[in-house]
Amino acid sequence: MRVGVTGISSDLGRGLLPRLEADSRVSAVVLFDVARPAELGAKSTFVRSDLTRPGAEEELVRSFREQKLDVLYHLAFVNSRVHGAAFAHELEVIGTMHVLAATQAAGLSRLIIPSFTALYGARADAPAIQTEKHALRGEGVRFVTDRVEVEQQLLKFSERNPGTQVIVLRFAPIVGKTADNPFTRLLQSGFVPTVLGFDPVWQVVHESDAVEALNLSLTTKARGVFNIVGESAAPFSTLVRLSGAQSLPLPGLFLRATIKLLETAGVSSVPVPLLDFLRYSWVADGERARAQLGFVPKVTFTQAMASMRERRA
């Protein structure tokens, strides 16, 4: 197979590339990003690509055809806090539109895209365990609403292009020594503000298991959406404690004021619109991924959270 990867500089991209380089089923890996990686493997070719630029679609179509791609991993999404909401929307929503149009025009056989279980939302009336059939109810902040819009695009694309095998992996919060996302930055701050009187159940998935799910998607016969979650769930306070951080329970009004102070100081915290995730449990069912993808997490919950403690050391 000839495999393309957008966003190779992302956490998932950096983790996936060595797997692709070592996979005997992969003859070539084409990397699309705005910056060239420091090192390229024997199978890798770099193509400079800015998905936010006008004309990106035409450039992608030409590159996909010239490189004769069979599979595309579209991993160009924003986790860093250094980018503003406007840029993130351009990259994630508009950039994905360019990728989908180019995928259709070039006739790629397989498209693999990451998403989040956070898109189900956290609310008092939510099901105890949410499957891939449940509606996406996450709202309130950019990184959730943009991803919901991306998934809506993917659903329409799948319906119009049955010849392309579309696989969407909805990841629980990804943790690990190299994972860099809003959740890991929150834990790294040392003190994690929480809502007094609430201790919702959370799931995580270790970064190595997340990459394994991407790798399994390369040749699976399955298609559609899959929840990618760790082997167990636990109260949020347990996640914080095992990571080496400390919970700081605060009443709602004080918590909002504390978050604003932390944001002003440039310290990672939970955005106010996401406070419901610290009130209500949000647990996704990983059975479909187990049965159809063959995904079985290898890193235990305790080991996954301990990796954050190692990172702190």
Position 79 pLDDT exceeds 70 = no
Determine the Cα–Cα distance for residues 13 and 11; give it in Å rounded to an integer.
5
What is the pLDDT averaged over residues 166-181? 95
What is the pLDDT averaged over residues 93-119? 96
Q: Give 143-170 pLDDT, tens digit per residue.
A: 788 999 999 999 999 999 999 999 999 9
Determine the pLDDT at residue 267. 66
pTM of the model: 0.94
- As beta bridge partners, residue 32 has 6, 47
Position 82 pLDDT exceeds 60 = no
Q: Where are the beta strands (DSSP E) in the chain?
A: 2-6, 28-33, 44-48, 71-74, 110-116, 165-171, 174-175, 191-195, 201-203, 205-206, 224-228, 233-235, 246-250
Determine the pLDDT at residue 272. 74
Determine the pLDDT at residue 266. 67
Determine the pLDDT at residue 89. 86
Torsion of Cα atoms, 152 then 158 then 159 then 164, to 10°: 170
Split at pLDDT 50, 70, 90, the class of 309 is confident
Q: Give 183-236 pLDDT, tens digit per residue.
A: 898 888 888 889 999 999 999 999 999 999 999 999 999 999 999 999 999 999
Percent over 90 (pLDDT), the chain: 75
Position 83 pLDDT exceeds 60 = no
Average pLDDT value over all residues in the chain: 91
Q: Give 19-68 pLDDT, tens digit per residue.
A: 999 999 999 999 999 999 888 999 999 999 999 998 999 999 999 999 99
Split at pLDDT 50, 70, 90, the class of 84 is low
Check residues 82 and 204 and name the one with the higher pLDDT: 204
Check residues 183 and 131 and name the one with the higher pLDDT: 131
Q: Give 235-274 pLDDT, tens digit per residue.
A: 999 999 999 999 989 887 888 888 778 777 766 667 777 7
Residue 151 near residue 137, CB atoms below 8 Å? no
Determine the pLDDT at residue 273. 72
Determine the Cα–Cα distance for residues 241 and 192; give it in Å rounded to an integer.
10
